[in-house]
Amino acid sequence: MPLVSMRQLLDEAAKGGYGVGAFNVNNMEQIQAIMEAARETQSPVIIQASRGARAYSQDKYLFHLMLAASELYPEIPLVMHLDHGNSVETCKSAIDLGFTSVMMDGSLQADGKTPATFDQNVEVTRQVVELAHQKGVTVEGEIGVLGGVEDGHGAGGSGHVTDPAQAVEFVAKTGVDALAIAIGTSHGAYKFSSKPDGSVLKMDVLIEIHKRLPGVHLVMHGSSSVPKDLQDVINQYGGKLKPTWGVPVEEIQLGIRNGVRKINVDTDSRLAITGAIRKVFIESPEKFDPRDYLKPAREAMKKVVAQRMTQFGQAGHASDYAPISVEEMKKRYAAAAAAAAK
């Protein structure tokens, strides 16, 4: 199956009332873990790479690893997505490389740290939408600012919750396919000091945005659940993680019932991998072959990803529809633009 349009995956998810996990990658083992989980659960999947991942692995390595995944798992609808593009140029570089979806995070300025104005956000996102849709590529935008920092990206602190009225205006002015919103989640492992309630996780804001934008695909960032059992494995084998809580799966499922179609997960994968590697190092200190610790790390991540795919509802939906290529999406975007211009 060719790499497919994220717009198609999210449209189908909306029809089926489920969410699709978007899992971050930096290397081969992570991609393999995601694809094995997708095959095991028969799930469509979004693999995403941040600017940090692209720099770490080098674009060509990462692109061809993801391309190989589409060839080795032809039955799995696969989207290659740029996570947190910081500029029009960054998004264009991903589009030119062959990504089928990009995120223009105009909520922050190009440094990836300083909050941008609403008008700045609209302008850069609109430019990316115009550029991407000409190539059949999906665009995710963001309104509001998430807290925390991950991969060097983020404003830190507690962020800024999305204003529902601004969300409506932003979608109208940019034409984005998907909208990431800030509802109190944050990047990184240290999201909450206790299980979050309505005072910190603003699900009421999400529900209000969905009511105002029922046809728009919403995105939850910073949505790793940071399970205690994964933390415990790390600490059991020499780690020093402080107690922390992530986004409860039941809250993500509430979001899915209210328009969330893409759920970003990264920290959970990192925790699973790190715990598995630490376990090998402590229990088998004589081991020195990277395969001896990367294989269990890959398996640990696969289990977490498969669990999330089932919890998000995407399991079993890989063969529901024929894939739409970016070439076909280019025609559809052009037709929609022509109709809007009349």
Structure tokens at 165: 């009225």
Decide if 178 contacts 216 (C-beta within 8 A): yes
Q: Residue 154 phi/psi, 5° resolution? A: 140, 155
Beta strands in 65-116 (DSSP E): 78-85, 101-104
State the CB neighbour count (10 A cutoff) for residue 291.
Answer: 10
φ and ψ of 82, to 5 deg: -85, 125
* Annotation marks residue 83 as catalytic: yes
Q: If DSSP codes are grouped into helix, strand and coil, which group holds residue 62?
A: helix
- Quote the strand ranges of the chain, DSSP E: 20-24, 45-50, 78-85, 101-104, 138-143, 178-181, 217-220, 260-265
| Number of other CB atoms surrounding residue 332 within 10 Å | 15
CA distance 74 to 130: 30
Active site residue: 59, 83, 204, 320, which one?
83
d(CA 39, CA 10): 19
Angle, helix 164-174 to helix 203-212, in steps of 10 degrees: 40
Query: Catalytic residue numbers?
Result: 83
